[in-house]
Structure formats: C-alpha cells, structure tokens
Copies of this chain bind each other. A is one copy, B any other.
Amino acid sequence: MKTRERILHTSQLLFNEEGEPNVTTVDISNEMEISPGNLYYHFKGKEAIIEALFARFEVTLSDILRAPLEKELSVEDSWFYLYVVFEEIYNFRFFYQNLTNLLHRYDSINRKYKRLMELKTRTAHALLSEVANHGILSIEDEELNQLCESITLLLTYWLTYCDLKGQQLGPPAAIHQGVFQIVHLVAPYLSDEYGHIYRECKALYQAATAELGH
C-alpha cells in the first residue's frame, strides 16, 4: 500500500478508536512508523486528512443511499439494506461522534454533510412510500414525514448512543439493535394483514440476538 493510502487508512482507524480530537499528526505517524515530516509531505495536515476521509465517505454513502431511489427494493431487501447503511456509518463513526464540532470547523464538509442528511431522509421516504403503495403500510403523509425524520435521527446517532451506554456491545450487536429499533418505529403503521412481517422480524431479531450472545 502506498504511503498516502496508509496514512488515510491509519488515520481512519485511530480516529475511530480514540476519537478524532484525541489523535494528533504525531500519533498517526508513530502508529505507522514514519516521521511526522513524511506525513506532512503527503498531506498539508490533519485537516486535509479529515477532508480526504470525508470525501470517501460521502462517495460511498451517497451511492448506497441513492440505490433504492433508482431501483425498487423488496421488503426483505429494505430490511437488509439498513444493515448496509449502518455498516458504512460504523466505518466512519469518528465522524458521527464529533459531528457538531467537525461541521463547525469545516464549512466544506458542512455543506456536503447536509446534503447527505437530506438524502438519508429522502431515501427513507422513498422506501416507505413504496411499501405504503403496496398496501403494506398504512400511513398519512404528515406522519410519514415525521417518521422519516425520526429514522434519519436514529441512523445518525444510534451507534454513538450505544457507545454512550457503554454496555460493551460488539459492533454487530449494536448495528443489529439499531436496525430493529428502526423496524420498531415503522411497525405500528403496518396494515393489519401485514402484522406478520413484524412478527417475523421480531423472531429473526431474537434469534440473531441470541446468536450474537454475550
């Protein structure tokens, strides 16, 4: 792996583990066993590293979020889809653990992030309207909007919130719970004849929870 790439890789790792504010350029170069001078040859500084990492995150996450806007998903796929979104957020959790501050410091990231956030809501809206059109969900327009907002908030902060609770959940368990938490937001709107979908989810959830063990 080229040095530039290794810097990004190591930074992402350390940021996620220690929290971005607690990682210095020297920490990064120590971890990589290169000199700080070398790091500065490849990047103007920590800011540039963060911007590069965010650029990557933006590309992959917005691709993920746009997919269901173009091609319809089945109900089962929608459910699996949530895992994919959470997974990607998990990979850049350092970013979410420090959102307010980062967006305050970097105006460029701020603008891009806002678009991502809107895209999250838009995707949730598209997925749910579709399910509603199939008669699986029965929900009014205004309730749908509020629901999508809650889903976006939950997607944004669930993993951070799990961290806060500090019940040493492994990442798969935390993600798994997050998915189910979202399912729970949607479940009350399932049409009567589709209540079984929720019950199946629940069974799956409990099985998987048992498997992830403790």
Contacts and interface: CB of A to CB of B under 8 A. Distances in A.
Interface stretch (A33-41, A52-60, A74-82, A180-188): A180-188
A161 interface: yes
Interface in A157-200: 157-158, 160-161, 163-166, 180-181, 184-185, 187-189
A99 interface: yes
Interface stretch (A6-14, A43-51, A83-91, A146-154): A146-154
Contacts of A149: 181
A119 interface: no
A45 B113 CA distance: 34
Tally of this chain's copies: 2
Nearest to A118: B165
Contacts of A19: 100-101, 104
Given A150-B154, A184-B143, A185-B150, A97 B103 contact: no
A120 to B, nearest CB: 12
Given A158-B153, A161-B156, A100 B98 contact: yes
Interface string A97-111: 111110110000010
A98 to B, nearest CB: 7
A114 interface: yes
Contacts of A99: 160, 164
Interface of A: 19, 21-22, 97-101, 103-104, 110, 113-114, 117, 143, 146-147, 149-150, 153-154, 156-158, 160-161, 163-166, 180-181, 184-185, 187-189
